[in-house]
Amino acid sequence: MDISWNPWHGCHKLSAGCQNCYVYRTDAKYGKNSNEVKQTGDYNLPIKKARNGDYKIKAGAIVYTCFTSDFFVEDADLWRGDVWRMIRTRSDLTFFIITKRIDRFYVSLPPDWGTGYDNVVICCTAENQSMADFRLPIYKKLPIAHKMIICSPLLESINLMPYLDHTIEKVTVGGESGSNARICDYEWVLDIHDQCVKKRVTFWFQQTGARFRKANKIYSIERKLQHSQAKKANINFDGTK
Q: Which residues bind ligand SF4 (CB under 6 A)?
A: 11, 13-14, 17-18, 21, 23, 69-70, 100
Of the candidates 188, 197, 128, the residue with the CA atom closest to the CA atom of residue 161:
197
Residue 69 or 229: the one with the smaller Cβ distance to ligand SF4 is 69
* Least Å from the CB of residue 36 to ligand SF4: 12
For residue 144, how far is the Cα from the chain centroid?
Answer: 15
* Least Å from the CB of residue 123 to ligand SF4: 12
Residue 69 or 177: the one with the smaller Cβ distance to ligand SF4 is 69
Residue 45 or 102: the one with the smaller Cβ distance to ligand SF4 is 102
* Least Å from the CB of residue 136 to ligand SF4: 16
* Least Å from the CB of residue 174 to ligand SF4: 13
Residue 21 or 149: the one with the smaller Cβ distance to ligand SF4 is 21
Residue 48 or 223: the one with the smaller Cβ distance to ligand SF4 is 223
* Least Å from the CB of residue 34 to ligand SF4: 7
Residue 90 or 100: the one with the smaller Cβ distance to ligand SF4 is 100
* Least Å from the CB of residue 196 to ligand SF4: 23
Q: What are phi and psi of 125, to 5 degrees?
A: -95, 150
